[in-house]
Structure 1
Amino acid sequence: MSSRRNFLKNAAIGAVGASTLGSAHIYAQESKKITWRLQTYAGPALAEHVIKPSIDAFNKAANGEMEIELYFADQLVPTGELFRAMQRGTIDAVQSDDDSIAAPVDVSVFGGYFPFASRYSLDIPVLFEKYGLKEIWEEAYGEVEGVTWLGAGAWDPCNFATVKPINSLEDLKGKRIFTFPTAGKFLSRFGVVPVTLPWEDVEVAMQTGELDGIAWSGITEDYTVGWANVTNYFLTNNISGAWCGSYFANEEKWNEVPEHLKTLFRLCMDSSNYYRQHWYWGGEADLRVNGSKLQLTTIPDAEWATVEQEAMKFWDEIAKTSPRCAKVVEIFKQYNALMAKAGTPYRCA
């Protein structure tokens, strides 16, 4: 009996000690929890598709070790200042294209909508994973202090949604269009007047007449974010088959993340990229056929071919800006030549 009492007494003391140690361990874990602030280029309605599901999944799978707070377009920092804010550590991570956030690298011109670099959304991952763009982007951002480029994915095409119909290139002249920096620079060759506004102000600007249209997305986004409610026409010709967007992180904050959480974040990036592939691909076709808000217009192929020819001149001009840009342009040329030779369904005649 004496031995039994001593055993129970020691067990009780041990249990208290284990409980105390356990509580200390939990507290230590909680005190080391990593918290990030990530801002996307997208407004709330669009973010529900292009990033929020993947961030929610990450937070759940991280099991309390890390939490990412998601912020929408211009919510913490204006989109054009995102790169510098991330570099300073004001925010920890960004989802956007290189062009819109004014990334200080020569290849930033290819982010967003570089005219006719892609025809379909699958072109982007193939170019990065099979044709060397991944290594080129890693090299470019490796020269910049304070930021780590994490990877690129494909978004939707770039079409015009306008108040008045576009049936010819002449109809583009003088139109005030909300678009991306490089896309706007290219479209200005056809008389378009590029306009930069905070994302959340675009719908009101359409209603007040400050804008004549948008060349920022495909038809899926026009319906999703409400732009189909303030425009009347959708031009089926596009200047790019897929937007090129990336994920970035503050270098110091990324280096603090343990390897298993880095892997988890990259998997969630892949999940988001995959979702957009089918969401946009299916949505673009369905809304052209079944959408009731926008009337479709088309510029004849022969006339639109002049836009494609002008894009090739634009490519050559960009190639002259740096050896690295020249390398990217050469990859685009080789890739598109191969796709043309492959024929349908890779490229239509």
Structure 2
Amino acid sequence: MTNRRGFIKKAGLATAAAGTTAFAAPYVKAQNAKITWRLQTYAGPALGEHVIKPAIDAFNKVANGEMEIELYYADQLVPTGELFRAMQRGTIDAVQSDDDSIAAPVDVSVFGGYFPFATRYSLDVPVLFEEYGLNEIWEEAYGEVEGVKWLSAGSWDPCHFATVDPINSLADLKGKRVFTFPTAGKFLSRFGVVPVTLPWEDIEVAVQTGELDGIAWSGITEDYTVGWADVTNYFLTNNISGAWCGSFFANEERYNELPEHLKVLLKLCMDSSHYYRQHWYWGGEAKLRTQGTKMKLTSIPDAEWATVEAEAHKFWDEIAETSPRCAKVVEIFKQYAAVMEKAGKPYRYS
């Protein structure tokens, strides 16, 4: 909050001097001057240490004084739900988040974050984008929105429930107040879950005070990393998605002004971020399930959980009806799932 107030105050002073709008564009083009970007991530500081900071540190080092990306964490400058508009206006220069959480005004935003049962493993996300055409679909969608450049998508962790009370059946989910993503919450409400939206930094206290009964926002690696494992008692091994889908975005004008070699460097560092998360999450999920001491594992029987997956496929068809482009994405998901099932082990075990 202190950082946000300071940012707003400085921006206001700058614009008052210029006699323009309430916020000044943070990047000013000047010949031979260092380029400075402000990038805000969806993640809080503890999580940001892993999901983005190593890549930004590497970028700043290799840019060798030509450019610096200043990294800000969840809600420090702008509330997460306002990130897209802030980036579009030029208030900030770049964002790391899922499309869903930042309210991106494109039809495919519903697939960002945790689209139920679209993926089984983290590798599914890059394969869908690189090999099954989602890159081109996302570029097309964001090409219709003025002022924002979609840059790159990657995968994060699976979506599991971390709860105060144990979950051993679907009936146990009814009435549970859960912090989750917009689309995931919409789907989970079919099973009696009450989705709750709160600022990221308030979640731990909300669980402690009883405002929340649980969290369906991450896998077990994040539960331990950000402190949620300290306030919840149980971890449900069933998940509604095998990987979160998030992206990097930039203000289009700022991005177009970059020299080509810095665009390439940015792409390499985004790829480095995607790679880091692949091994950090994959290893962490298994290690903390087997060696973690803070949460007890529970499971809903496979036959009962299969009804959730069946409902997800109905949800897919409903989303497909919202636009031709969404229908195209859903059809790709179906084709991909069929290929993976036919390929069998190790691509799919059931």
Query: Unaligned stretches of 5+ in structure 1?
Result: 1-27
Aligned equivalent of 1:212: 213
Aligned equivalent of 2:6: none
Give, in whole Å, the separation in 2 of the partners of 1:204 and 1:90.
Answer: 30
Contact 1:213 1:231 survives alignment (8 Å): yes
Give, in whole Å, the separation in 1 of the partners of 2:303 and 2:288.
Answer: 26
Deviation of 1:235 after TM superposition, in Å, equals: 0.1
Amino acid at match of 2:270: M
Contact 1:30 1:64 survives alignment (8 Å): no
Query: Unaligned stretches of 5+ in structure 2?
Result: 1-28
Give, in whole Å, the separation in 2 of the partners of 1:85 and 1:209.
Answer: 33
Amino acid at match of 1:245: G
Aligned equivalent of 1:252: 253
SS in 2 for 1:124: helix
Give, in whole Å, the separation in 2 of the partners of 1:47 and 1:191.
Answer: 32
Aligned equivalent of 1:101: 102
Q: When the two structures are superposed, what TM-score results if normalisation uses the length of structure 1?
A: 0.91
Amino acid at match of 2:269: C
- CA deviation vs aligned residue, 1:69-103 (integer Å, no higher than 9, x gap): 00000000000000000000000000000000000
SS in 2 for 1:161: strand
Aligned equivalent of 1:317: 318
Aligned equivalent of 1:345: 346
SS in 2 for 1:129: helix
Deviation of 1:226 after TM superposition, in Å, equals: 0.3
Aligned equivalent of 2:80: 79
Aligned equivalent of 1:19: none
Aligned equivalent of 2:113: 112
Higher-Rg member (1/2):
1
Give, in whole Å, the separation in 2 of the partners of 1:29 and 1:88.
Answer: 20
Deviation of 1:29 after TM superposition, in Å, equals: 8.9
Aligned equivalent of 1:59: 60
Contact 1:29 1:65 survives alignment (8 Å): no
Give, in whole Å, the separation in 2 of the partners of 1:261 and 1:308.
Answer: 43
Q: Let me know the Cα RMSD of the aligned residues.
A: 1.0
Aligned equivalent of 1:294: 295
Amino acid at match of 1:172: L
Give, in whole Å, the separation in 2 of the partners of 1:260 and 1:32.
Answer: 16
Give, in whole Å, the separation in 2 of the partners of 1:249 and 1:306.
Answer: 40
Aligned equivalent of 1:332: 333
Give, in whole Å, the separation in 2 of the partners of 1:102 and 1:285.
Answer: 32
Aligned equivalent of 1:202: 203
Aligned equivalent of 2:125: 124
- CA deviation vs aligned residue, 1:118-147 (integer Å, no higher than 9, x gap): 000000000000000000000000000000
SS in 1 for 2:48: helix
Aligned equivalent of 1:17: none
Give, in whole Å, the separation in 2 of the partners of 1:218 and 1:192.
Answer: 18
Deviation of 1:328 after TM superposition, in Å, equals: 0.1
- CA deviation vs aligned residue, 1:214-255 (integer Å, no higher than 9, x gap): 000000000000000000000000000000000000000001
Give, in whole Å, the separation in 2 of the partners of 1:45 and 1:326.
Answer: 37
* Structure 1 runs (4+) greater than 2 angstroms displaced: 28-31
SS in 1 for 2:162: strand
Deviation of 1:31 after TM superposition, in Å, equals: 5.0
Q: When the two structures are superposed, what TM-score results if normalisation uses the length of structure 2?
A: 0.91
SS in 1 for 2:268: helix
- CA deviation vs aligned residue, 1:235-281 (integer Å, no higher than 9, x gap): 00000000000000000000111100010011000000000000000
Give, in whole Å, the separation in 2 of the partners of 1:95 and 1:279.
Answer: 18
- CA deviation vs aligned residue, 1:311-342 (integer Å, no higher than 9, x gap): 00000000000000000000000000110000
Aligned equivalent of 2:156: 155
Contact 1:30 1:65 survives alignment (8 Å): no
Deviation of 1:32 after TM superposition, in Å, equals: 1.7
Aligned equivalent of 2:144: 143
Amino acid at match of 2:87: M
Contact 1:152 1:245 survives alignment (8 Å): yes
Amino acid at match of 1:307: V
